[in-house]
Structure 1
Amino acid sequence: MTKSTVRKAIIPAAGLGTRFLPATKAQPKEMLPIVDKPAIQYIVEEAIESGIEDILIVTGRNKRAIEDHFDKSFELEKMLEEKGSLKLLETVRNVSELADVHYIRQKEPLGLGHAILCARKFIGDEPFAVLLGDDIIRSQPPCLRRMIDIYDRARASVIGVLEVPWEEVDKYGIVSPRAAAQDGYLAIDDLVEKPGRDQAPSNMAVIGRYIIEPEVFDILESLPPGRGGEIQLTDALRILNGKRPMVAYPIEGKRYDTGDKLGYIEATIELALQRDDLQESLTAYLTELAAKLSKR
């Protein structure tokens, strides 16, 4: 039987965002703005541009703002229309019309693997995408679109990877590639969750983009807690790879780790520089600032 194409995506958004306290005390970290757009909207837009039809956001406590953002806001729209702010009105309406967005609550913080397991009924028996909200990846075509194309060719789960400095391998799941990349992807021999530098099989880190076959749900359901006492997605993928070999896609384009303070600042500056309404004035400011810093 021919497998269906990838139509559904999961965006886990139940984390507490402790690295951005106190800003995230009463606001989801996924709603922190990159210029004037919340970080999670960049992720949703990538999914839509990649052909995804249905999106499930896995939320936790105090995440209602995410649902409100992608819902219609009748009062706001009416006010903008009455004021004649038609451009802003179009922007607001476009957000609520982006895609069919669904929500489910992860009632306990049991890890990324558990968050994915919460989506089992929504996904059913289909391959699906996972996009982590901390990773904004800018490329054309979109990163997820390239991964779906690889899935259609390889008929295997696809893991997005990126080379990271060796001193940072203990922050990521790491893949052990079987051979050099061919046809845009490489076979995976093994995966290790956050190894020490001496134990890491490579510096190819798992980044927040996945195409996963539904067999992973049976694995997650019986998987014991791993590192940190949580259900680790990397542990489940390692088992899945032993049953149904997976491939890795070395991502192209620019990746911003917005879960890191410096990465968040870099994303804000660089994405602002790509905007026609900000580029000239921001470039002038940064030039002036660089001159001042060079004199210190």
Structure 2
Amino acid sequence: MSNKVTKAIFPVAGLGTRFLPATKSVPKEIMTLVDRPLVQYAIDEARAAGIKEFIFVTSRGKGALEDYFDHAPQLEQELKAKEKDDLLDILKSTNMDSGEIAYVRQHKALGLGHAVWCARRLIGDEPFAVMLPDDVISGGTPCLQQMVEAYETSGGNMVAAMEVPREKTSSYGILDVAEDMGSLVSVKGMVEKPKVDDAPSNLAVIGRYILSPQILKNLNRMKEGAGGEIQLTDAIAQEIGGSEGVYGLRFNGRRFDCGSKAGFLQATVAFGLEREDLGGDLRRYLHEVVAADKAAE
């Protein structure tokens, strides 16, 4: 079995009901964060980490997502004719070569574990990444790249982790830490959405994983877990104490929960401020809004 991670699964079958009515006709994953779809941030992060094969677990109504990665000859010709080379370069950067991307249908919404299991035949006997596009992470070195670099030493199974306020632990999968080695921790337990008083730590699992193919075998035998769904964390937890082990990586970067409206707005502001062409105007506007609020108090 190779130790190199070249495949990534993107579970994108959800209906995005928290963003209705927008998601009535537009898949949540191609809603724009500044001027790029959510999923493009995940793709760019995966490419930076060395991912070569992109596997999307979709559902009915996701045709616009598939079209996004296809070539647009008419638009490309128009941009070329108008000599808009900068826009043409941006457009070409979103294209995916034939054979680079694959789509698998999840016919029933049975949870994240089930979505990953749906892609099992395309993974085979090699380690793979799982990326949740809702979790957008900004920072210097992309999160998955940090994980791949750590994985080359640790092996096993790895989850991205960050500390959250104790009162919010019931919203996450939480790690029970066996040994804290700084940025990397070894794990002796994982609890999916525990009661606040029962949480073993405040170290939460975020939507980035590097997993061994054994996880897929575990999912073959999985039954419903928390929330009546097949939980990926339950399948990972079965490897704790085994020969490969489970690790958490405290990544460097800021995570935005773009599955929520508040998180999406926060990410829009943060990414807008980072842009050279937008940051100045946006910053001035925000100062004006804050000043107006203070004057009204």
User: Normalised by the size of structure 1, how large is the TM-score?
Assistant: 0.96
Report how far residue 270 of structure 1 moved: 0.8
Partner of 1:240: 239
Paired residues for 1:71-110 under 5 Å: 71-97=70-96, 100-110=100-110
The whole-number CA distance in structure 1 between the counterparts of 2:215 and 2:119 is 12
- Matched to 1:101, the amino acid is I
Q: CA deviation at 1:86?
A: 2.4
The SS at the match of 2:196 is: coil
Q: Does 2:137 match 1:144? A: no
Q: Does the CA-based 8 Å contact 2:132-2:207 persist in structure 1?
A: yes
Structure 2 residue aligned with 1:266: 266
Q: Structure 1 residue 38 and structure 2 residue 37: aligned?
A: yes
Contact residue 169 and residue 194 of structure 1 kept, 8 A: yes
Q: Which runs of 4+ in 1 moved over 3 A?
A: none
C-alpha contact (below 8 Å) 1:59/1:103 kept by paired residues: yes
| CA deviation profile, 1:101-160 (whole Å, cap 9, x unmatched) | 221111111110011001111111001111111111112221111111111101211111
Query: Which residue identity does 2:163 align to in structure 1?
Result: E
Check conservation: 2:147, 2:249, Cα contact below 8 A. Answer: yes
Give the 3-state SS of the residue equivalent to 2:56 in structure 1. Answer: strand
1:134-188 CA-partner distances (Å, limit 9, x unpaired): 1111122211111111111012111111111111111111110112224x31110
Partner SS for 2:227: helix
C-alpha distance in structure 2 between counterparts of 1:57 and 1:149, whole Å? 24
Matching of residues 28-177 of structure 1 within 5 Å: 28-97=27-96, 100-177=100-177
Give the Å deviation of 1:235.
0.9
The residue correspondences of 1:180-191 to structure 2 (distance < 5 A) are: 180-182=180-182, 184-191=183-190
Quote how far apart the aligned CAs of 1:97 are: 4.3
Q: Secondary structure at the match of 1:295?
A: helix
Cα displacement string for residues 169-210 of structure 1 (whole angstroms, at most 9, x for unaligned residues): 11111110112224x311101000100101111111100011
CA contact 1:48–1:98 (8 Å) conserved in 2? no
> Is the CA contact (8 Å cut-off) linking 2:174 and 2:200 kept in structure 1?
yes
Question: Shift of the alpha carbon at 1:16?
Answer: 0.8
Asked if 1 retains the 8 angstrom alpha-carbon contact of 2:185 and 2:248, the reply is yes
Which consecutive residues of structure 1, in runs of 5 or more, have no partner in the other structure?
none
**Conserved 8 A contact 2:157-2:236:** no
Give the secondary structure class of the aligned counterpart of 1:14: coil
Partner of 2:253: 253
* Sequence identity (%): 43
Q: Are the aligned partners of 2:6 and 2:52 in contact in 1 as well (CA < 8 Å)?
A: yes
Distance of 2:93 and 2:246 partners within structure 1 = 36
Partner in structure 2 of residue 18 of structure 1? 17
SS at 1:9 equivalent: strand
In 2, the alpha carbon distance for the partners of 1:139 and 1:289 equals: 27
Please give the alpha-carbon distance, in whole angstroms, between the structure 1 residues aligned to 2:260 and 2:145: 25
**CA drift at 1:264:** 0.4
Partner SS state of residue 197, structure 2: coil
Of stretches 90-99 and 124-133 in structure 1, the one that deviates more from structure 2 is 90-99
Report the CA distance between 1:211 and its aligned residue. Answer: 0.5
Compute the TM-score of the two structures, normalised by the length of structure 2: 0.95
Corresponding letter in the other structure for 2:270: E
Question: Which residue does 1:228 correspond to in 2?
Answer: 227
